[in-house]
Amino acid sequence: MSQVYINDFGAHVGKEVELKGWLYSRRSKGKLHFLMLRDGTGIVQSVVAKGEVSDELFEQAGRIGQESSVIVRGVVRADARAAGGVELGMLDLQVLQDVKDYPIAHQEHGPDFLLGNRHLWLRSKKQAAIMRIRSRIVRAIRDFFDDRGFTLMDAPIFTPSACEGTSTLFEVNYFDEAKAYLTQSGQLYGEAAAMALGKVYVFGPVFRAEKSKTRRHLTEFWMVEPEVAYATLEDVMDLAEGLICAAVSAVLQHHRQDLADLERDVTKLERIKAPFPRITYEEAAVLLEKLGTGFVRGNDLGAPDETALGEHFGMPVMVHRWPHEVKAFYMKRDAADPRLALGVDVIGPEGAGELVGGSQREDNLDELLGRIHAHGLPEEAFAWYLDLRRYGSVPHAGFGLGLERTVAWICGREHVRECIPFPRTLNRIYP
């Protein structure tokens, strides 16, 4: 007899199966034990009745501790009294390891405790659901780009200098003489790749040594960064819109149970459909002044501003054409108004914050050189990047989407640190 996974139990009603997993929890009632078993694909109730199995097995089923590893043989049966509609009538129990004093109980725990026990916390129902959804979103992202003829062009993690010249970087020794930095963005390399392959995307971890400790920040997180030759700002706004819709729809299609376990209000996800509202920074400013968030015109959007915009539209909203002062040096200016940069932020609803930041890139060599100097950046570090404007420069654009923020939004989680297997934050590098 072969192993059957819990998420396939529905197709095995009436059959004898073998479940290989762990004891999630137990409720006992005299001559009846209800063992909640998990195997990584779900949780199912297994029922053991005294008299139907050996006394020894019954006693053992009532004694083993939470997270004991077990192989259970039994008959799958439909029963409305069981959560999920099916349960396993236990016939035999093999205990690989009987566990005592598993640290994480089925009760509220504080974040410090849970994060310190992240290696175990991942076993809990909601955390497992988030990880499955994260995996699905990654797959949806890759499918989205692969299906559109993009080439995956991963950027280096070690870089000789800052990509954007703004964030604080993690410094590492690169053998004896050189210093290297952990990348904060693959974008500049993505631009080189786009000049070679046309449509590309970079997908990997990035690192920020900012001393940020908020529910939206990690020091190590994943970002997908498409870059498209001959594309305009409007082109990549379409692309970002399509990407977000694809991710949401893939999760809705494949993860109803996980969303239910997370108590996610799916009606809010079901109405995420293109087109997303597109407003200029100026229009956003007028709206924010009306909403009274304390927004100061000319500044970047603060977290309360982003939340207010998200709530106002109930949909990801694309804010484009920003004052160039608040945006990065590589963004192209708007020909219609040179005070504006051709950048776009996609702000998620429900307090998700900035999911995407993108722009049309400056493709003129002299403009870009001037911008690098104006920002006080070392020209020599950008020599290769400037070459892209010397040899066949073309209009091009791209964006970066923060994976954990997207996962947090779709899963309805408050903290991005629940949305990556092992989060790295300002105060935490363990486990």
Partner RNA sequence: UCCUCGGUAGCUCAGCGGUAGAGUAGGCGGCUGUUAACCGCUUGGUCGUAGGUUCGAAUCCUACCCGGGGAGCCA
In the region spanning residues 351 to 410, those forming contacts with RNA, defined by CB under 7 A, are 353-357, 400-402, 404-405
Nearer to RNA, 395 or 398 (CB): 398
Nearer to RNA, 196 or 298 (CB): 298
Nearer to RNA, 99 or 365 (CB): 99
Task: Classify the C-alpha dihedral 192-193-197-201 as positive or negative.
Answer: negative
What angle (nearest 5°) sits at the alpha carbon of residue 404, between those of residues 385 and 322? 50
φ/ψ of residue 163, rounded to 5? -80, -45
Does 304 bind RNA (CB under 7 A)? Our answer is yes
By CB under 7 A, the residues from 223 to 282 that bind RNA are: 223
Of the candidates 358, 55, 320, 30, the one whose C-alpha atom is nearest the C-alpha of residue 191 is: 358
Calpha distance 385→377 (Å, rounded): 13
By CB under 7 A, the residues from 174 to 213 that bind RNA are: 185, 208, 210-213
- Computed over its alpha carbons, how large is the radius of gyration of the chain? 26
- Listed ranges 3-11, 105-113, 195-203, 389-397: which one lies at the site for RNA (CB under 7 A): 105-113
Query: Least CB distance from residue 105 to RNA, whole Å?
Result: 4
The pair of structure tokens assigned to 288 is 């924010």
Nearer to RNA, 249 or 425 (CB): 425
328 and 345 in contact (C-beta within 8 Å)? no
Nearer to RNA, 40 or 84 (CB): 84
Among 328, 331, 372, 410, binds RNA (CB under 7 A): 328
Nearer to RNA, 270 or 421 (CB): 421
Among 53, 57, 76, 87, binds RNA (CB under 7 A): 87
End-to-end CA distance of the chain: 37
The DSSP bridge pattern shows strands 199-207 and 151-152 to be parallel
Query: Least CB distance from residue 334 to RNA, whole Å?
Result: 19
Calpha distance 401→183 (Å, rounded): 15
- Listed ranges 152-160, 163-171, 197-205, 276-284: which one lies at the site for RNA (CB under 7 A): 163-171
φ/ψ of residue 307, rounded to 5? -60, -45
**Binders of RNA: how many residues, by CB under 7 A?**
77
By CB under 7 A, the residues from 116 to 155 that bind RNA are: none
